[in-house]
Amino acid sequence: MSIFTQKGAILVTCPKGLPEYLEAELISLGYKETYVMEAGVMVRGTLEDCMYLNLWVRTGHRVLFELKRMSAFGPDDLYHEVSRLPWDEFMEKDGYFRVDASIRDTNVNDSRFAALKVKDAVADYFMQKFGVRPDSGPRTDGVCLFLHWRERHATLYLDTTGDPLPRRGYRKRPHSAPMQETLAAACIMAADWPEIAEQGGHFIAPMCGAGTLAIEAALMAMNGAPGLLRDHFAFMQLVGFDEAKWNVMLDDAEDAENPEIKGRIIATDHDPAAIEAAEDNARIAGVGDFIEFALCDFRETEIPEGPGIVMLNPEYGERLGEEKALMETYKGIGDFFKQSCGGKTGYIFTGNSSLAKRVGLRTKSRRIFYNAKIECRLLGYELYAGTKKVRPEG
Ligand SMILES: C[S@@+](CC[C@H](N)C(=O)[O-])C[C@H]1O[C@@H](n2cnc3c(N)ncnc32)[C@H](O)[C@@H]1O
C-alpha cells in the first residue's frame, strides 16, 4: 500500500485567532471530525487528502501529515526513534530534504540541534542501506519534515506544503503593510462574505493597498481554489506522488469555478502605486475581471445600492507621531460609514483600539485576530439605510 493512501492524523496549522475559521472550512470541505488547537486543527485522512487540503484551504498555513509519535527524553532517543522509520518509502535516496523543529520544555534547548538530530537519523538510514544519502538544507523544494517536541512527547510530520500557504503566488507587489492572505481570508469569512456573495451582495474595499482583501473576496465568490495559483507543494517530492491524480484535482477545481460573480467588488486607494500593485496582483490571481479599481480618497468610493460589506484596513500608527495624524482618518471613516454606506455592514481591521474609538459608532461585532504579534480587531458596524440612524457610540 502506498503511503499516499494510508490514513493518519493531519494537522493543518494556522496563526492564533484563525482556528475557528479553519475548522469551519475543513467541515465544509467534508472533514466532519475535527480537533481544534490553539494554532491549528487536526483531522484524519491520507496524503491524498493533504494534496486536496493544500489546494483548497484558505486560512491554513501548512498541512502536516503525522509520520510518528515518539517518546523522547533526549537527542539520542529522538535519533533512535527517527532512524526506525522506513525512510526510503517516502524519500529518494539521492533527493533533498529539509527539517524544521518546534521544541519546548525538552532536554535540548536549541530547535536547530533537534532538527540536526532528525537530519542525521535520516541521512544515516540511507547511508547504511544504500551507501548514499539525500542532501539536506534550507530549501523548500525537496521533502519537508517538521518535528514538534514538548517534554518527552515528540511528533514527526511530513510537511506536505513547503512554502507556507499564505504565499499564494499572486502578490508580486506587496505595497505598504499588506495583510497576510490567510488573515484577509479569515476576516472576509468572519463578515459572512460567502453567503452575502451568493445572494448578490457587494464587497467594497476602500484603502485597498496591494488589494489582498478584494482579491481574497473575489477568489471566494468565484469559488477559486487558492492552491491553483501555486505550482509547487512539498508533497510533489514524495515517493509515490501521483501526478495524474493531482491533475484531476486541479481540473476539478477549475471546473468548480463560477464564471461570474453576482454582486460587485470595488477596490480603491488614494495612492497610485497601490492601485497599480493591486491591479497587477488581481490579474496574476486571475480575478482582474471581477474587481473594479479606482484611484480616490476612501470618502469618494462608489457605494452601489443593495446589501454588502465595506471593509477597510487603515494604517494603525505603529510609529510615534503617526497616531495623531490618523485620528482624523478614523473619524472620517465613521462619517463615511454614516453618510455613504447605509444598508451595508461596515468593517474596520485595526491594531489600535484608541484610534478605533475615533470612529464614533457602536460596534455590532468585535473579533480578535493577530497580525504578527499585534493583537488586532475586526470591528463590525451595522449601517442602517433610510430613516434608521446609525447608533452613535455610548
Ligand atoms: C494598511 S494599508 C492597507 C493594506 C491592505 N489591506 C493590503 O493587504 O495590501 C492602508 C492603505 O490605505 C491607504 N490610504 C490611507 N489613507 C487613505 C485615504 N484617505 N484614502 C484612500 N486610501 C487611503 C494607503 O494608501 C494604504 O494603501
- Measure the CA angle with vertex 37, ends 33 and 39; round to 5°: 125
**Which one of 168, 207, 296, 313 would you pick to mutate in the ligand 1 pocket, going by the greatest count of ligand atoms within 8 A of its CB?**
207
Q: Please tell me the distance from the alpha carbon of residue 240 to that of residue 51, in angstroms, as a whole number.
A: 13
CA-209 nearest atom, ligand 1? 27
**394 CA from centroid of ligand 1 (Å):** 28
Q: Give the C-alpha separation, 320 to 379, whole Å.
A: 24
pLDDT digits (tens, 9 = 90+) for 16-32: 999 999 999 999 999 99
Q: Whose CA is nearest to atom 26 of ligand 1?
A: 209
Q: Which atom of ligand 1 approaches the CA of 271 most closely?
A: 25
Q: What are the distances in angstroms from CA 22 to CA 200, 249, 292, 390? A: 24, 21, 29, 32
pLDDT digits (tens, 9 = 90+) for 110-153: 999 999 999 999 999 999 999 999 999 999 999 999 999 999 99
Q: What is the atom index within ligand 1 of the atom nearest the CA of 316?
A: 1
- pLDDT-based confidence at residue 387 (cuts at 50, 70, 90): very low
For residue range 347-366, what is the model confidence (pLDDT) as tens digits? 999 999 999 999 999 999 99
Is 70 exceeded by the pLDDT of residue 386?
no
124: three-class secondary structure by DSSP: helix
CA of 252 to the centre of ligand 1 (A): 36
Which atom of ligand 1 has the smallest separation from the CA of 179? 8
pLDDT value at 336 more than 70:
yes
Phi-psi region of 92 (alpha: psi -120 to 50; beta: other; left: phi over 0): beta
What are the pLDDT digits (tens) for 159-169? 999 999 999 99
The long-range contacts involving 130-134, CB below 8 angstroms and separated by at least 24 positions, are: 130/88, 130/93, 132/93, 132/94, 133/93, 134/91, 134/92, 134/93, 134/94, 134/95, 134/96, 134/97
- Cα of 246 to ligand 1 centre, how many Å? 38
Ligand 1 binding pocket mutation candidate from 172, 266, 269, 340 (most atoms within 8 A of CB): 269
Q: Which atom of ligand 1 is nearest to the CA of 299?
A: 20
Which residues surround ligand 1 with Cβ inside 6 Å? 175-179, 207, 209-210, 212-213, 269-271, 274, 297-298, 313-315, 329
Whether the predicted pLDDT of 393 surpasses 70: no
pLDDT of residue 385: 75
217-269 pLDDT tens trace: 999 999 999 999 999 999 999 999 999 999 999 999 999 999 999 999 999 99
Taking each helix axis as running N to C, give the angle between helix 19-28 and helix 181-190, from 0 to 180 degrees, rounded to the nearest 10.
80
Selection from 328, 319, 307, 312 nearest residue 382 by Cα: 307
Instruction: Please give the pLDDT value at position 106.
Output: 85
Nearest-atom number in ligand 1 for the CA of 212 is 8
Q: How far is the CA of 200 from the centre of ligand 1 (A)?
A: 26
Residue 390: pLDDT over 60: no
Going by their DSSP bridges, the two strands 143-150 and 96-104 should be labelled as: parallel
Retrieve residue 131's grid coordinates: 551507501
Pocket test for ligand 1, best of 270, 331, 355 (most atoms within 8 A of CB): 270
What average pLDDT score do residues 84-93 get?
95
Q: Identify the pLDDT of residue 304.
A: 97
Give me ligand 1 centre to Cα 170, in Å: 19
